[in-house]
Amino acid sequence: MQTSLWRSRKVLVWLDERLALTELLEYARHKTVPEHKHSFWYYWGGISMFFFLIQVFTGVLLMVYYRPGAESYESVREITYDIRFGWLIRSAHSWSANLMVLAVFIHMFSVFFMKAYRKPREFGWWSGLALLALTMTFGFSGYLLPMDELAYFATKVGLELPASLPLVGKFINDVVRGGPEVGSVTIQRFFALHVVVLPLIFIPVLAFHLWLVQKHGNALPPSEEQKPIAERRSIPFFPDFFSKDLAMWLVALNVLAILASLYPWQLGPQADPLAPAPAGIHPEWYFMSQFQLLKLFGRWFPGVTGEVLGLVFFTLILLLWAIVPLYDTGTAAGRRAKVATWFGITVLALLIVTTIWGYWEVL
């Protein structure tokens, strides 16, 4: 027993001399995380990353059996019904994708309302927005891969969004589809995008984002910032916050396991491009707001004007959302701070209302 302990200590010392583990541990012990009544929102970045790791793990397992192209539906059918535990891996992949999008949205809004985009965290905000856009593209490209009826028609509907862009819309659509219609070439393109191109962009952006979080630490919400330094509270990152973060990952894993096992992801009938689209077809929930907004503008302003106005409106909001750190630079009580908060509330309300409205119309 003593010999084995001595050996493991020797291994640790050997590693420490080469990797400076003690230094790292000391750093982690000295690093602190603010503690206040809004601390709950600090966990959402970690939860988003946890679901991303699940995506990578289950995605690699699915790749072992998935065959992009003409056989894609058959291979997903085999994964779901023939291969042992295939249904669970696929279900976990699909559910964690949705949970990841949800977690990233919650993370973004919590950062917004805690004003964690202010100096010096502007690049954290922008890299976060890039990660959200990439996450949504992951979702969109992955949704087509089973090539069942829903995936096929929802992708067709989803591609109407870039198609409505003036000048470049048609070009983008042709490149993405690989032809005039969604087909097996599209699946191969989406697959390449999903498993190679997007991860190649996502991982460096994520590393940059995490480095910034590490560099600047967790931001204090305005209500805490106003307190004198002596009254501010914090806990050590290691082991206190670290163990809580892991506990939150465990909770996230529970949520995922409950959804994936009790509500396994379904596979619909094989897509038939010649068949009429089923009633009520629509894109995934995280594109519903944009989809509904474009529909509404098209309805209010018939013809091309509606589409263009819808896109202008949408682009304007996105632009304002992105440049908020350059506008709201002042103190908590400043006028610009209030304007930014109201802008955030409006955007959140718009997202929720148009999403519900969209589902109300199609279901």
Partner 1 sequence: MNYPFWDVPLIGSGWVIGTIAIFHVVISHFAIGGGFYLPIAERKALAEGRADWMEILRNHSRFFLILTGVFGAVSGVGIWFSIGLAHPEATSTLIHNFVFAWAIEWVFFVVELTAAAVYYYTWGKLDSRTHLKVGWVYALSSWMSLVIINGILTFMLTPGERWLSVAGSGNEASAFWSAFFNPTYWPSLFLRTLVMISLAGIFALFTAAAIDGYERPQLKTEIVRWSSRWLVPSFVLMPFFFAWYLFSVPESQRQLLQLGISTIGQGTFTQVTRAALVSVMTSATIVAIVYFVAYKQARSFSRGWAWTILLLAVAATAATEQAREMLRKPYVIGNHMYSNGIRTSEVASFNEAGYLTNSIWLREDERRSLQDGGSRLAAGELIFRGQCASCHTRDGYRSMRRLLQGRNRQAIENLLGVLHRSEANSTYRFMPPLVGSKQEIEALADYLENMVTEPVRTAGL
Binding partner 1 by CB under 8 A: which of 19, 20, 168, 251? Answer: 251
Binding partner 1 by CB under 8 A: which of 118, 194, 282, 295? Answer: 282
Rounded to the nearest whole angstrom, what is the least distance from the CB of residue 8 to partner 1 in the complex? 23
167 binds partner 1 (CB under 8 A): no
Binding partner 1 by CB under 8 A: which of 13, 258, 304, 320? Answer: 258
Rounded to the nearest whole angstrom, what is the least distance from the CB of residue 261 to partner 1 in the complex? 5
Of 136, 144, 56, 126, nearest in space to 104 by CA: 136
150 binds partner 1 (CB under 8 A): yes
Q: Are 161 and 291 in contact (CB under 8 A)?
A: yes
243 binds partner 1 (CB under 8 A): yes
Q: Between 33 and 187, whose beta carbon lies closer to partner 1?
A: 33
Give the per-residue contact string, 24-43, with partner 1 (x = CB under 8 A; - = no): -----------x---xx---
Binding partner 1 by CB under 8 A: which of 85, 171, 300, 342? Answer: 85
Binding partner 1 by CB under 8 A: which of 120, 269, 273, 302? Answer: 269
Mark the segment that binds partner 1 (CB under 8 A) among 165-173, 176-184, 222-230, 257-265. Answer: 257-265
Mark the segment that binds partner 1 (CB under 8 A) among 5-13, 65-73, 78-86, 318-326. Answer: 78-86
Burial class from Cβ neighbours inside 10 Å (0-12, 13-18, 19+) for residue 274 reads exposed
* Three-class secondary structure of residue 6 per DSSP: helix
Q: Are 117 and 111 in contact (CB under 8 A)?
A: yes
Binding partner 1 by CB under 8 A: which of 53, 64, 247, 353? Answer: 247
* Three-class secondary structure of residue 235 per DSSP: strand
Task: Determine if the peptide bond prior to 264 is cis (ω within 30°).
Answer: no
Of 151, 197, 157, nearest in space to 290 by CA: 157
65 binds partner 1 (CB under 8 A): no
Number of residues that bind partner 1 (CB under 8 A): 43
268 binds partner 1 (CB under 8 A): yes
CA distance 260 to 217: 34
Local structure of residue 36 (DSSP, 8 states): S
CA distance 149 to 222: 49
Q: Between 250 and 339, whose beta carbon lies closer to partner 1?
A: 250
250 binds partner 1 (CB under 8 A): yes
Alpha carbons within 13 A on the beta-carbon side of 175: 7
346 binds partner 1 (CB under 8 A): no
142 binds partner 1 (CB under 8 A): no
Q: Are 357 and 125 in contact (CB under 8 A)?
A: no
Q: Between 264 and 330, whose beta carbon lies closer to partner 1?
A: 264
How many helices and strands (H and E) does the chain possess?
Answer: 16, 2
281 binds partner 1 (CB under 8 A): yes
Beta strands in 41-185 (DSSP E): none
Local structure of residue 83 (DSSP, 8 states): S
285 binds partner 1 (CB under 8 A): yes
For residue 248 the two structure tokens come to 């939150």
Helix (H) or strand (E) holding 279: none
Cβ–Cβ contacts within 10 Å for residue 78, how many? 15
Rg (CA), the chain: 23
Local structure of residue 237 (DSSP, 8 states): I
Q: Between 167 and 279, whose beta carbon lies closer to partner 1?
A: 279
Rounded to the nearest whole angstrom, what is the least distance from the CB of residue 105 to partner 1 in the complex? 15
CA distance 343 to 122: 18
Q: Between 269 and 302, whose beta carbon lies closer to partner 1?
A: 269
| Residues forming the site for partner 1 (CB under 8 A) | 35, 39-40, 80-81, 84-88, 98, 150, 154, 233, 235, 240, 243-244, 246-248, 250-251, 254, 257-258, 261-262, 264, 266, 268-269, 278-285, 359, 362-363
